[in-house]
Amino acid sequence: MSSLKVAVDSAAITHNVRTLGKMTAAQVMAVVKADGYGHGLIEAAAAARAGGAAWLGVAQPHEALALRAAGDTGRMLTWLYGPEFPAEELMAADVDLSVSSPEVLGRIVTASRDGSPSPRIHIAVDTGLGREGVTIANLPGLLELAKAVEREGLVRVVGMWSHLAWADAPGHPTIDLQAQHFRQALVMAQDAALALEVRHLANSACTLTRPDLHFDLVRPGIAIYGLPPIEDPNGENFGLRPAMSVTSRIILVKDVLAGQGVSYGHEYVTTYPTTLGLVSAGYADGVFRAAGSVAEVAVKGRRYLIAGRVCMDQFVIDLGPATEVCVGDEVTLIGPDGPSARDWATAVGTIDYEIVCRFGGLRAKESA
């Protein structure tokens, strides 16, 4: 058992959702996919509701069903599935369903005809991301089909949505271009006589930077966990608080001479007599192996570079020749008194989304 501890401050998630809610006139859909970005699906959802999230958003159907099973009765949207998905269960659970294709709509209509309650659906439009959603070229056909089955009482078309490719690069020309395509899609919905309740486009970055693109609903994910994907020009993290902290402990401290190679491959070699500290957390726990020699941790508020390679369940730090660090001292990998998830992302060449998902995987295993 590793001594890595992943803690989630659910009050921070509540605070962050409330803070985002104050930035917009739109409703807030808190995105809690991927186990709440590693923070825990049920816990993150409850915290987000407490902060005023009128909606929850999840990619996968099983996540929506898990939220219902946990007692959440509010509005909820799921969007990532092909025609083989648990339509009946979702419809019985009153989950709003995204529709990207005639095949998915057909599956929903079949379930409806077979007696499942008619669901509220949101048409997903690919305005330029090149990922989920129907293309603008194929939208009129899908809208016509949707209107026909709506007339039969088999679905209610309540939403239209899209997703941005470059929202985290404010000013990128694709943002306005996608917005223009989205507006065009909304006109098409109007032309098809569909009365939409919610139009939505904004992820975290768009929520923070483009109030003109909030429409009726914003869908922040990473920001509700306190990790805005763009820098706050005022240096205040947009008033958001990181919710996840990751800590471990020093389990061995020992003095070594100058010239001691450290960890596999001796990538790090001491240049003076010093003290090494052993931390019992490794890549099996979510500590990226690529963090060796590049990422920092903190002990008693001081930063230390990981010395040499990260192993499966352990890594070493060089505490220096006159350290006061002892066995049992806490090591902060991520936390207010240490590096941020962004620091880790920068060190290992990824984004903080992947860092929290990775560490959160361990939290999920521990609580299972």
Ligand X SMILES: *Cc1c(COP(=O)(O)O)cnc(C)c1O
What are the residue numbers of the active site?
33, 264
Q: For residue 91, what is the enclosing H or E element?
A: helix 87-92
Q: Which is nearer to ligand X, 59 or 90 (CB)?
A: 59
Nearer to ligand X, 19 or 203 (CB): 203
- Fill in the amino acid letter for 135: T
C-beta of residue 52 within 8 angstroms of C-beta of residue 18: yes
Instruction: Determine the size of the site formed for ligand X (CB under 6 A).
Output: 13
Taking the complex as a whole, how short is the minimal distance between the CB of residue 164 and ligand X, in angstroms? 9
Task: State the minimum distance, in angstroms, from the CB of residue 163 to ligand X.
Answer: 4
Residue 352 C-beta: closest distance to ligand X, Å = 10
CB of 232 to ligand X, least distance (A): 15
Per-residue x/- marks for ligand X, 59-78, CB under 6 A?
x-------------------
Least CB distance from residue 239 to ligand X, whole Å? 16
Instruction: Specify the residue for token string 């069903």.
Output: 65
Determine the 3-state secondary structure of 82 from DSSP: coil
* The binder of ligand X chosen from 220, 228, 282, 292 (CB under 6 A): 220
User: Does 243 participate in binding ligand X (rule CB under 6 A)?
Assistant: no
Which residues in 249-268 contact ligand X (CB under 6 A)? none
Shortest reach from residue 168's CB to ligand X, in Å: 7
**Which residues 10-39 are close enough to bind ligand X by CB under 6 A?**
31, 33
Q: Which is nearer to ligand X, 109 or 206 (CB)?
A: 206
Element (H, E) at 356: helix 352-367
Strands 274-279 and 315-318: antiparallel
The answer to whether 228 contacts ligand X (rule: CB under 6 A) is no
**Phi, psi (degrees; rounded to nearest 5) at 159:** -145, 160
Interatomic CA distance for residues 333 and 22, integer angstroms:
31
Residues 132-171 that bind ligand X (CB under 6 A): 163
Among 181, 219, 358, 363, which residue sits at the site for ligand X (rule: CB under 6 A)? 219
By C-beta, is 170 or 321 nearer to ligand X? Answer: 170
Q: Which residues contact 114 (CB under 8 A, 6 or more apart)?
A: 88
Work out the end-to-end distance of the chain between its first and last CA atoms, rounded to an integer number of angstroms: 14
Residues 221, 277, 292, 339: which binds ligand X (CB under 6 A)? 221
Residue 59 or 192: the one with the smaller Cβ distance to ligand X is: 59
In this structure, how many other beta carbons lie within 10 angstroms of the beta carbon of residue 366? 13
Cβ-Cβ contacts under 8 Å for 296 (sequence gap 6 or more): 303, 304, 305, 306, 338, 339, 343, 347
Burial of 230 (0-12, 13-18, 19+ CB in 10 A): middle
203 near ligand X, rule: CB under 6 A = yes
Tell me: does residue 107 bind ligand X (CB under 6 A).
no
Beta-bridge mates of residue 316: 278
Kindly tell me which of 112 and 203 has the beta carbon lying closer to ligand X: 203
Residue 360 binds ligand X (CB under 6 A): no
Quote the CA–CA distance of 90 and 104 in Å, as a whole number. Answer: 13
> Under the rule (CB under 6 A), what is the footprint of ligand X?
31, 33, 59, 79, 163, 203-204, 219-223, 229
